[in-house]
Amino acid sequence: MVQLFSAFDRETIERKMQDEKFDVVIVGGGITGAGIALDAVSRGMTVALVEMNDFASGTSSRSTKLVHGGLRYLQQFEVKEVAELGKERAIVYENGPHVTTPEWMMLPFHKGGNMGKLTASAGIRLYDYLAGVKKSERRKILSKAETLSKNPFVKKDGLKGSGYYVEYRTDDARLTIEVMKKAVELGAKAINYTKAEQFIYDDKRHVSGVTVTDRLSGKVYDIYGHRVINAAGPWVDKVRKLDYSHNNKHLRLTKGIHLVIDKKKFPMEQAVYFDTPDGRMVFAIPRDKKVYVGTTDTFYDESPINPKALESDHNYVIKAINYMFPDVHVTEKDVESSWAGVRPLIYEEGKDPSEISRKDEVWFSDSGLITMAGGKLTGYRKMAEKLLDDISKGLSKETGKTFKSVQTKHLPISGGDIGGSGNLESFIDKKAKEAINRFGWSLEEAREVVKRFGTNIDQLFTYAQEHKEKGIDTLPNSLYAELHYAIYHESVIDPVDFLLRRTGYLLFDMPYLLEWKDAVFEEMDRLFHWDDKTREKLQVELDTQIKDAREPADWHDRKSE
């Protein structure tokens, strides 16, 4: 099957979306929509998906970047949630080991802290049991000396020891795009920068499709489906308002931000999950050459399109860092980049942001519109499984088709078909050596790029070979390969798609981004032949994203006044 997922395939994808009535039409291209698309198409359903911005541009690229089992939810007695999420971690990891990594997490105990040694030990033990944690990853309780040997930066005053357990770190945006690519590989039709404008109804007032607008060309067209699913994350309420019927439930958005600091300033190799003086919990997580810290948890009532990290947000996280790691002395000037994200939580009256459940729910409207609300990155596959189990019988009866049961439990996502996580290191070693020998990549960049793209690395090597043969000197060989692969195989349309969501350079390697952003822009301009208006718009968008990452948004807002 020919995979249509190139930036230059848009007209073909749009034509195919108009040629048939799909079993499932999905609005929303974050991890929830991608997971539903993959589950549905792997069962044998025909699938169309539209995303109004870039794939993973909302919550799915702005999380804490953990596929975790929700240890904190035990404090809220959400036992079933912990059991389900904990088991899902291993499934997500095995299906895409190149984008998910086991990470030993330290939970320090301090005199007067939220968690004492006995409470934490019991909690983590219960967590291990509920989550079905394998023996090699079960919790340990460390003494004060053992804690400081693993992380000498942890606050020593009042330290009693720590819990030590495994979480799973991920690249949330790449996880989303790899799930989406697998769905497309199996036959789903998916397109970004395409906005759902209104629903289409049959003569019984049952939703039978959606009218969409290609935001790049202005083209308006209809997509028809037997089932229409709203998986728009923070925008699900806005999408539901396009429908004539909806229930009284709604979302409550909260905002979280994270700061990125170079390891030269914060040379920490051990991830830590710690409580702050006001009782909230914060993660400090090493990632390659950086450490990122967050998150805040505050109610958010503004537009979810591009949430900002403000000075007050930065100050909160910096204060938390210096509270738990007093010898580091982090200040604002040490923050290399940051990001802000919005969580689409289901409203619960009278609860503070950190108290609201992260559970997912499916809402059925009288019109037949199906809405997937709430949920977590970790649970994306299970959420899709439960939803498709629920609707497949009725859909089968309506269409006369026979659908398979869930197929995604052992289905590798794009780039993840290496025969299981146990083969990852040998795969990376082999392909990194090939990149070094054939193209002169450094060991560091070779390992980083191979891990980022997994088994799709051979396709990147074709572009690296092209770069080598043509003697191109405007971009480094590896960056040229990444860029061309992302455009031709990952639907990259503008520089922010590539520099933020496909590679993460804007967040985790700001010096590299600043060095090469103009060359990336020029290469994309050469390929896409942008007009002056488009070129100016994309340049402003890129500059704004860099500013928002490098300093609190209200700083440069005040400067422009």
Question: For 465-523, what is each residue's pLDDT tens digit?
Answer: 999 999 999 999 999 999 999 999 999 999 999 999 999 999 999 999 999 999 999 99
Cα–Cα distance between 460 and 225 in angstroms, integer?
A: 35
Higher pLDDT, 248 or 214: 214
pLDDT at 277: 85
pLDDT score of 227 more than 70: yes
Dihedral class, residue 529 (left if φ above 0, else alpha if ψ from -120 to 50, else beta): left
Burial category of 180 from C-beta neighbours within 10 Å (exposed 0-12, middle 13-18, buried 19 and up)? buried
Cα(338)–Cα(258) distance, rounded to whole angstroms? 6
Side-chain half-sphere CA neighbours of 264 within 13 A: 4
Confidence of residue 86 (pLDDT cuts 50, 70, 90): confident
pLDDT at 70: 60
Q: Which two tokens stand for residue 126?
A: 């219960």
Asked whether the bond before 455 is cis by omega within 30 degrees of 0, the reply is: no
Phi, psi at 343, each rounded to 5°:
-95, 125
Closest CA to 409 of 107, 60, 93, 169: 93
Can you tell me the mean pLDDT for 437-446? Answer: 97
Q: Which residues pair with 349 in a beta bridge?
A: none
Q: How many whole angstroms separate alpha carbon 536 and alpha carbon 52? A: 21
Contact by Cβ (8 Å): 373, 386: no
pLDDT score at 283? 95
Task: Provide the pLDDT for residue 303.
Answer: 85
Q: What integer pLDDT is reported at residue 278 of this predicted model?
A: 85
Among 169, 184, 98, residue whose Cα is nearest residue 377: 169
Report CA-CA distances (Å) from 396 to 200, 204, 227, 404: 21, 20, 11, 10
Does the pLDDT value for residue 351 go beyond 70? no
* Out of 142-146, 166-170, 175-179, 503-507, least confident range: 166-170
Total residue length of the chain: 561
The reported pLDDT for the residue numbered 469 is: 97
Residues in CB range of 194: below 8 A, 6 or more apart: 50, 51, 52, 212, 213, 214, 215
Q: Residues 77-99: what's their mean pLDDT?
A: 81
pLDDT at 89: 86
Task: Report the b/e string of 103-113 with b at 16+ CB within 10 A.
Answer: bebbbbbbeeb
Residue type, 301: D
Q: For all residues of the chain together, what is the average pLDDT?
A: 91
State the pLDDT at residue 76: 57
Q: Which of 120-129, 235-244, 487-496 has the lowest mean pLDDT?
A: 120-129
Provide the pairing of β-strand 66-67 with 207-214: unpaired
Name the band, by pLDDT with cuts 50, 70 and 90, for residue 355.
Answer: low
